[in-house]
Each structure stands twice: as structure tokens, then as C-alpha cells.
Structure 1
Amino acid sequence: MKFTAFLNTINHIQSAKIGGLESQFRLAPKMRLNYNAEKIAASNPKRAAVLALFYPNKNGETCFLLTERASYKGTHSAQISFPGGKIEKSDKNLKETALRETFEEVGVLKERITVLREITDVYIPPSNFLATPFIAYTEEKPVFNTNHEVEQTFDVLLKDLLDDANITSINITTSYAKNIDVPCFKLNNYIVWGATAMILNEIKELLK
């Protein structure tokens, strides 16, 4: 999709009904399905926010940003994710959290970003976070400057997200589960699963 065409969908993105948990759960590991609103509330999750940032590449095609987390001794080591993180006391709201974290992790100034809307919260059981995703865009491809939290960034073409052929499943072993089959996207030869895939599927269904 050309970026000019993406900009023409802004009114739709802002006003259309989102798919909610139904959209997310189509790309959710089975263990995620055990968490309803009451169980999540009882877990007293920490709050966080992430940003799905769209922009044009040098050919004028619409891309969005994903990051590979740095390797560390923790639950989400080396995973593929959106820029984002936990809310801080200085943040006025979760949108400010998403913008601040995007600047801290990949160096994009919030003044260059237009936030279109928030979508459905995603619960992340292993770290007990409830993350609020925001859809946003910037009109020129940023120069990404990563910090110690991010190993690398990569551009994903929106048309690849919209292509059903890029949905598959894999068997994985993590620090908290062994030999589990999970649905996922295969994007730029990276496997994207878990909370990031759930958010992406809600965005995909909104845009389609």
C-alpha cells in the first residue's frame, strides 16, 4: 500500500469499530485464552503502552516499525515487539508513555508523530503487564537511534501484514513454557507471536 493511500484511510482508522479481543485471540497462544477480565483485574497488572508507528519507505510504500529486544536475563529477551514500556509517574497518560518510550528506545521525537487512536489492551501474563497499544504515523521515515534496550529495528511493509499467507504457527520453548504451539506472523523472516501478534491482528483486521 502506498503511503498516500494509507493517509486516505485515517478517517476509517479513527472511526471504525475495532475487533477487540475477538481479533486478538485469533493470534493468541492457547494459554492466553484462560485470562478473562476478572482474572486480569485480580492479577493487579502493571500498566504499559506501545506504539504501532506507520511511515513511508524510500519507495513511498507504507511500513511500520518493529524492534528486536536486546538479549538479557528476562522474560522478553530478544523478542520482536513494538517500541513501548511501563508507565512512569511523569507520564500524564498512557499515550504519553507510548510516545516517551518510542523516543527513548528508537529516537523518534513525539513532535513528529501523530497518534490516531488507541486499540484494545493486551494482557501479558509472563510479566503481568496490561499494555495499551496506540496507532500512529509520521510522514517521513525517521532515522532510528536505538538504545541498550533494543538490539535492532526493522521496517515491515503493511502489505505483508495484510497478506494472509504470512500467518502460520510454530512450536516454541520459552523461559515459562515448553513445546507449545503458537500462531504467529512471519514478517521479514522474523517470527512474531504473543502480544505483538495479537495487536498486529487487530490492526490488520481494522485496516482490511
Structure 2
Amino acid sequence: MSDNSHWQSFTTSLRKALEATSSGKEAQIEMAPLPDIQQRFDRESAKNARQSAVMILLYKEEEMINFPLIVRPQYPGVHSGQIALPGGKYEDTDQDLIYTALRETEEEIGVGLDQVEVLGQLSELYVPPSNFNILPVVGMISDRPNFVLQETEVDELIIANLPLLNDKERRKEKEMTFYNGTKVRVPYFDVQGKVVWGATAMILSEFATIINQINSQK
């Protein structure tokens, strides 16, 4: 099968899988920091949270399917310096949360709204430390885009690939210091030696489950 045929087959299967997905709680829990796990699935708190969206932006490069992660700058906040998916908070001028994900992707990494084809979305996830409810959106663009980073929002771009999500060697644990100073051991993805944990790891854990389901049907 040619690269293009494989890409088309994969994105078609992924779109169908995203439509069929009802809840990713079990997959999210696999990579959840334990101290606040109950808060993260408190739907009443999520209803009153600020709304936001992030983008898993897939593209093919040679024989690999990749997606970008960003390193947040250091700032006085609970997510300072963390690795995240492109995204941000809902604005009153946004049509919906899918538009929020597209707009923030354009602002943060320079990929235009009209370049991205939305394939679907994952389960929403509540983040207690910042009181945000996140909608993860999955989009695609055929080839590697020309990334242009917004310096005030992005310190560094990290390119990840799909196989690492289901690579057991990439799932590790380490001691982390929470925003309130508490030290705990948390699960994380090792991406190019970087620690991807918290909400981002939980979102990617659900996505990994879907990718594994698609691969198992081949």
C-alpha cells in the first residue's frame, strides 16, 4: 500500500473510531496523577469551569504520522513550563470549541484554520488546578506544515509520532512537584526525553487507545 493510500485508509478509520467513542475515562485514568483523580472526573465542577480546547494535529512525514506538542514558557501559573497540545481558552467570538482549537493552533504554531480538516473529538477533561474544562479535537493536514511559533506562548516545538503512544517503554513514572508544593509520583510519556504528564498525558492516553483499536483491526 502506498503512503497516500495508507494515510487515507488511516484517517477514514480514525474518523469512524472517533464517532463511535463514547467515553475515554478508563483510558484517561491510566495516565492520571492520583492525588486529584476524583476531582478530574467531577462533572459538576466541570460544568462551572472555564471552557477550552486543544488540538491533536496529525500529518504525514515520509512513512510516519506525527503531531506537534508545545513547551509552555515559564510564568507565574500552575502550568508554567509544561508540555501541552496547541490550544487555549474559549473566547466569546468563537463559534464553538472546535473553532477555539483551530484558532489557537493558528495563533500558537502558525497552522491556518483553513488548512486543517477536523476528524472528530475525544472525551472532555476537567483540570482542577486551573479550573478549565478541555475539549480535545483531532485534526489532520496532509503534509508537514510550516510551523511558526508564537514566542509569548510557545518556548519550543516537539514533534511526536503515533507509535510512541502505545510503546510501553515510553510510559514511565517519576516524582513531580504539584502546583501546591505536594510531591507525588505521576505517570508520564517520555517524548524525546521530555516529560509529558497531567492533562496532556491523559488526553494522549485516550487517543492511544483509539489508535490501538484501529491497528488491531488491520
TM interval, shorter chain, is: over 0.9
Closer, same or farther: CA 41–131 of 1 in aligned 2, 3 Å: closer
Q: Residue type matched to 1:199 in 2?
A: I
Query: What is the CA-CA distance between 1:163 and the residue it aligns to?
Result: 1.1
What is the aligned residue count? 205
Other-structure match for 2:142: 139
| SS at 2:143 equivalent | coil
Query: What is the CA-CA distance between 1:41 and the residue it aligns to?
Result: 4.0
Other-structure match for 1:91: 94
Q: Which runs of 4+ in 1 moved over 6 A?
A: none
Structure-2 separation of matches of 1:4 and 1:188:
29
Q: What is the TM-score normalised by the length of structure 1?
A: 0.92
Q: Is 2:197 the partner of 1:193?
A: yes
Other-structure match for 2:12: 11
Cα RMSD, aligned residues only: 1.6
Q: Is 2:78 the partner of 1:66?
A: no
Other-structure match for 1:121: 124
For 1:79-138, what per-residue CA distance to the aligned partner results, in whole angstroms no more than 9, with x for missing partners?
Answer: 000000000011000000000000010100011111100110011111000000001110
Structure-2 separation of matches of 1:87 and 1:167:
31
Query: What is the CA-CA distance between 1:7 and the residue it aligns to?
Result: 3.3
Q: Is 2:31 the partner of 1:27?
A: yes
| SS at 1:139 equivalent | strand
Closer, same or farther: CA 154–3 of 1 in aligned 2, 3 Å: farther
Q: What is the TM-score normalised by the length of structure 2?
A: 0.88
Contact 1:3 1:62 in 2 (8 A): no
Gaps of 5+ in 2: 213-218
Contact 2:7 2:60 in 1 (8 A): no
Structure with the largest fraction of helix: 2
| SS at 1:9 equivalent | helix
Structure-2 separation of matches of 1:116 and 1:63:
15
Gaps of 5+ in 1: none
